A = this chain, B = another copy of it.
Amino acid sequence: MEGRTPMKDDDVIGVEVLQDLDPDSPVSRYRQIADQLAAAVLDRRPGARLPSEYEILNRLGVSRATATQALRDLEQRGLVTRRQGKGTFVADPDRAIRSNRPGVLPSFSEDLRAAGRTTRERVIALEIASAPADVAAALGIGKGDDVWSLERIIVSDDQPVVHLTSWLSCATVPALSRSAVEATSLYEQLSQIEGSRPCSADEQWSAAVAPPTTATVLDVGRNAPVMRVVRTAYLHDERPVEYAIAYVRGETFAVSIHIDAHQHRSRLLASLTKAAG
């Protein structure tokens, strides 16, 4: 329809951004719509308006339920907010969910790049070791079994920010090379080994003092506060594939959480961001 209230072009994402759907795509229709809109959202300022459900269904010839599902998908990713009677609008980027790439787990490097920082990874050591008790328990293998032990530093904007050690069962991940990890990333390498792509992860973030070696590597004082992150990553069938302990410079980064009780539902997003103060 023509004749909308005069508004800056900047504040509206028109239906024109939507290309016809690919009927042969394995990707569902609502997902194709959502992905197109997600790309458009990135350029826009918070508060910009998205096409309404009816505009989408008229443009693409889908049912309303499909248009609704596309917009709800974006809402769940934290990219937009929806208001009854008003419309769908670009959300505050601080409140976006960590990874928007489907099926891919966010890594520390990704978090940092999402925060607008450069990243570089350096492998300190990659070797086969025998699993300590805590590692064996987390990976569901026997104590003393062979595991890859991978120690890395993530350097961001020329400052060492994360010191992390990962353990992976040699039974699950037969081969791993230092050059490949340095060239791409650990998760990238795992994705290329059939069936060893991590699909979910549990992380625990707590405050701690930097252990001596970490303090040296991160170039902080002996009793410096750090975020201690314990991560277990799982395969599609819930078998653990990676157990990692990371230390993040405490004064530099924080976990941001947004809690939303609108609409009688608690929603919760998180991202690694610059710490306040």
Write the residues of chain A forming the contact surface with B, with a CB cutoff of 8 angstroms: 2-4, 31, 65, 73, 76-77, 94-95, 97-106, 134, 198-209, 223, 225-228, 230, 236-239, 248, 250-251, 253-262, 264-270, 273, 275-277
- A52 to B238 Cα, complex, angstroms: 22
19 further interface pairs, Cβ-Cβ under 8 Å (given A76-B76, A104-B266, A225-B226) = A77-B266, A97-B268, A99-B266, A101-B266, A103-B261, A105-B259, A134-B277, A200-B261, A200-B262, A202-B259, A203-B256, A204-B256, A207-B208, A207-B225, A207-B226, A225-B250, A230-B277, A268-B269, A268-B270
CB contact between A276 and one of B101, B206, B238 (< 8 Å): that residue: B206
Q: Which chain B positions have C-beta within 8 A of A265?
A: 73, 76-77, 102
Beyond A2-B237, A97-B268, A266-B97, whether A102 also contacts B261 by CB under 8 A is yes
Q: Which chain B positions have C-beta within 8 A of A205?
A: 205, 254-257
The 10 closest A-B pairs by CB, nearest first: A207-B250, A206-B254, A102-B264, A206-B275, A207-B207, A207-B225, A203-B257, A205-B255, A223-B223, A200-B260
Q: Which chain B positions have C-beta within 8 A of A270?
A: 257, 268, 270
Q: Which chain B positions have C-beta within 8 A of A206?
A: 227, 250-251, 253-255, 275-276
Q: Which chain B positions have C-beta within 8 A of A251?
A: 206-208
B225 touches A208 (CB 8 A): yes
A275 touches B209 (CB 8 A): no
Considering only CB atoms, which chain B residue lies closest to A265 in the complex? Answer: B102
- A104 to B3 Cα, complex, angstroms: 22
- A260 to B99 Cα, complex, angstroms: 10
- A253 to B206 Cα, complex, angstroms: 7
CB contact between A103 and one of B225, B237, B254, B264 (< 8 Å): that residue: B264
Q: Which chain B positions have C-beta within 8 A of A76?
A: 76, 265, 267
- A103 to B265 Cα, complex, angstroms: 6
Q: Which chain B positions have C-beta within 8 A of A202?
A: 94-95, 256-259
In the complex, how many angstroms separate the beta carbon of A270 from the nearest chain B beta carbon?
6
In the complex, how many angstroms separate the beta carbon of A187 from the nearest chain B beta carbon?
11
Beyond A253-B206, A276-B204, whether A261 also contacts B199 by CB under 8 A is yes
In the complex, how many angstroms separate the beta carbon of A243 from the nearest chain B beta carbon?
11
A250 touches B208 (CB 8 A): yes
Considering only CB atoms, which chain B residue lies closest to A200 in the complex? Answer: B260
> Can you report 28 A-B residue pairs in the complex whose CB atoms are below 8 A from each other?
A2-B239, A73-B265, A76-B267, A77-B265, A77-B266, A97-B268, A100-B266, A101-B266, A102-B266, A104-B266, A199-B262, A200-B259, A200-B260, A200-B261, A202-B257, A203-B259, A204-B255, A204-B256, A205-B205, A205-B257, A206-B253, A206-B255, A208-B251, A209-B225, A225-B225, A225-B226, A268-B269, A270-B270
